[in-house]
Amino acid sequence: MTTTTDVRPAAEMSGRASTAARPVRWWSGRVSFRMHRRTALVSGGALLLAALLLLVSLSVGSYPVSVPDVARALFYGTGDRLAVHFVNQERLPQALLAILAGCALGMSGAIFQSVSRNALASPDVIGFNSGAATGAILVIVTFGGAAASVAAGAIAGGLVTALLVSVLASRGGLHGIRLVLIGLGVTAMLGSVNSYLLTRSSLNDAQNAHIWLVGTLNGRSWSSVQIMAVALLLLVPLALLFGRRLRMMELGDDLATGLGVRVNRSRLALTVLGIGLCGVAVASAGPIPFIALAAPQIAVMVSRSPGVSLVSAGAVGAGLLSAAHLASSQFFSALVWVDRQVGWIQVVEESQRNNLLPVGVTTAVLGGVYLAWVLFKRRGTGTA
């Protein structure tokens, strides 16, 4: 029996019942925004979940902090010195980065899945994350790895990889199956390149790059949050601006052209935006798997919308990565010695900060469970 990959547009896979959903409209002057009611509820619920997980992340850990103490530390910077340190300097940057990076990965996955009309065409599958990782590793082992330079290297690596994959996959027209297969091959090649770069670097650089390659939020500071926030302020409005064209392109190139969409230019612009979103996420937290793959499809499945929504995909991505970060931070904790009388902490060994489970490990496990569930659900249908 022949097994094929289901490459139907997301609009067809989301169910016919969603077409009857009543849309919600927001407008201000000449700018209007239209979203199905259930999609708006799913987006709001996912963002609320991410906010609740952020609050829990600030409270739990090797040094528990009560909710009132968290509020005092956040809004007034007063209270127990240890509580203020843990909340404002250790936990808050990582929790915010989880939300921002998850949003970027979710929107990036939605863009690539819609452009290619293939549910498997996410940045971590078709090689863009690996290309961004290669660019970032080059910066780390060559220039020392400052935050801004790593971000630039990751975006440049993602763009070069996207150009290579697009050229190889566009012969005879861009097809989802060919894009995924070529992307998998490029991912394997870039994995070898990354391993070679690690063997040629110093021990310290190799250790830093290896920890970063797993995908982790541990030890991230406010500088990473600032880079992510600035990047999202620039990229998200542009992605939403092209969102209407993206929905039309899901109907097919011919129909989208008939509706006035410049398909080639729009596809190029959306590809660059998707690479930029996944590039800054990879630069800030490493190549975290699963989020870009599953967030758009989970958003479509829960909201029953007629297509992939960038807003709901970003919101679900933020919730997924926040949940994974909270789970990772509770599996292993750094051993600390606390002297309450003196009011300072001492990490027993600096290397034990790396004993915290990287969030990329948790998302990889979740991704495997998700793919197994999808395959089990589609058993006997002849699609995978």
Q: Which residue, among 284, 311, 53, 37, has the nearest Cα to 150 in the 3D structure?
A: 284
Model pLDDT, residue 49: 93
| HSE, side-chain direction, 13 A CA sphere, residue 85 | 10
Model pLDDT, residue 154: 81
Helices 92-116, 37-59: crossing angle, 10 deg rounding:
150
SS3 343: coil
Model pLDDT, residue 259: 66
Distance CA 279, CA 291 (A): 14
Model pLDDT, residue 322: 93
Chain-centre distance of CA 179, in angstroms? 20
Per-residue pLDDT of the chain (384 residues; tens, 9 = 90+): 333 434 444 444 444 333 334 555 555 445 555 667 788 888 899 999 999 999 998 888 777 888 888 888 888 887 778 888 888 888 899 999 999 999 999 999 999 888 877 777 788 888 888 888 888 888 888 776 666 777 788 888 888 888 888 778 776 555 667 777 888 888 888 888 888 888 887 777 777 777 778 888 887 888 889 889 999 999 999 998 887 777 777 766 667 677 677 777 877 788 888 888 988 888 888 889 889 988 998 888 888 777 778 899 999 999 999 999 988 887 654 434 344 434 444 433 333 344 567 888 888 888 777 777 766 776 655 555
Distance CA 225, CA 222 (A): 5
Tokens 């290579």 sit at which residue?
164
Distance CA 308, CA 16 (A): 14
Structure tokens at 236: 């998200």
Distance CA 307, CA 18 (A): 9
Tokens 């601006």 sit at which residue?
241
